[in-house]
Amino acid sequence: MAILVTGGAGYIGSHTVAELLDRGEEVVVLDSLVTGHRESLLGGKLYVGDLRDKEILAKLFAENDIEAVIHFAASSLVGESMKDPVKYYDNNVYGTQCLLEGMQKAGVDKIVFSSTAATYGEPEKVPIEETDRTQPSNVYGETKLTMERMMSWFDKVLGIKYVALRYFNAAGAHASGKIGEDHRPESHLIPLVLQTALKQRESIAVFGDDYPTEDGTCIRDYIHVSDLADAHIRAVTYLRSGSGSNVFNLGNGLGFSVKEVIETAKEVTGLDIPVAIQERRAGDPAVLVASSDKARSVLGWNPSRADLKEIIRSAWNWHSSHPQGYGEA
């Protein structure tokens, strides 16, 4: 039986596909390649198509014996979601509805969902726990929470079991050096810092250095993409064992400050990384860190690449050997 990975040609999806293949799983990928890259797939059977295309979904489920789905395919830029909410409801919410409909018709009853810690909005406290209030502060987070709620009703009514994994920033690259992060446009701190080291950008913008943190810059949570892949696969195992639906945060301890990331990147690359201090951005909390106590105790998830230097070293290994990512756009 196979595992269907939607968005499997994306950043986190491709690392999850690599990990599944390493573990001897049969993998089917559905990806429209809207932000993903065909070259990022180290194996598996790729269907190039859109989640919202019910025909391709029906064909895929008819041609393969799918046991479970890992669902990454989504639009995920916070800023864009605040300019074009229709795109986010259409791709994320309606796309998930089509996927669940396809699963129902094919009798597939397990789904692991790549959610986000943006479902919490401005946290009441840190580290954030799964029982904390969910009050998204942007359209992207709202659509992800709506997708979770949709899954919860599909469980209650149709018995489709789900695990939602909520996390902040994926980072790092595969140990092989063959695949890594190539978002266009790039909005994540670590690749932006490393592109500055490669002189592809003049400087790295730091938004505010007067926050109530030790060095004045914001503290954020970064998790190695291969540790995320491991968590998604553990969630499949959890559902395979007959466990009910559940929600888990995936976090990395105390988090790291923006300055810490830049200083560590200087150390790892041995290169200069010019910094431009700018005004604080509206709605940027000082600290965003998720507690992963529940994932550790229930899923047995124990991130083995939690060290910031190791995360940046693996990202540098990819960026320095692939300065144009997967190639010209």
Q: Which residues are catalytic?
A: 140
Q: How far apart are CA 232 and CA 163, in angstroms?
A: 9
Select 12 or 312, whichever has its Cβ closest to ligand NAD. 12
By CB under 6 A, which span of 25-33, 102-110, 203-211, 259-267 interacts with ligand NAD? 25-33
DSSP state letter for 89: I
CB of 224 to ligand NAD, least distance (A): 11
Q: Determine the Cα angle at 204 with ends 202 and 205, to 5°.
A: 120
CA proximity to 181, closest of 171, 193, 167, 189 = 171
Binding test (CB under 6 A) with ligand NAD, winner from 72, 211, 248, 316: 72
Select 46 or 206, whichever has its Cβ closest to ligand NAD. 46
Q: How far apart are CA 75 and CA 53, in angstroms?
A: 16
35 to each of 31, 174, 183, how far by Cα in Å?
9, 19, 7
Q: Determine the Cα angle at 258 with ends 257 and 259, to 5°.
A: 90
For the record, the structure tokens of 37 come out as: 């890259």
By CB under 6 A, which span of 3-11, 197-205, 257-265, 282-290 interacts with ligand NAD? 3-11
Q: Are strands 45-48 and 26-31 parallel, antiparallel or unpaired?
A: parallel
Q: Is 169 in the site for ligand NAD (CB under 6 A)?
A: yes
CB 55: neighbour CB atoms within 10 A?
8
Size of the site for ligand NAD (CB under 6 A): 28
Binding test (CB under 6 A) with ligand NAD, winner from 46, 47, 68, 76: 76
CB of 48 to ligand NAD, least distance (A): 9
Q: Is 95 in the site for ligand NAD (CB under 6 A)?
A: yes
Q: Is 51 in the site for ligand NAD (CB under 6 A)?
A: yes
Residues forming the site for ligand NAD (CB under 6 A): 7, 9-13, 30-36, 50-52, 72-74, 76, 91, 95, 114, 116, 167, 169-170, 183
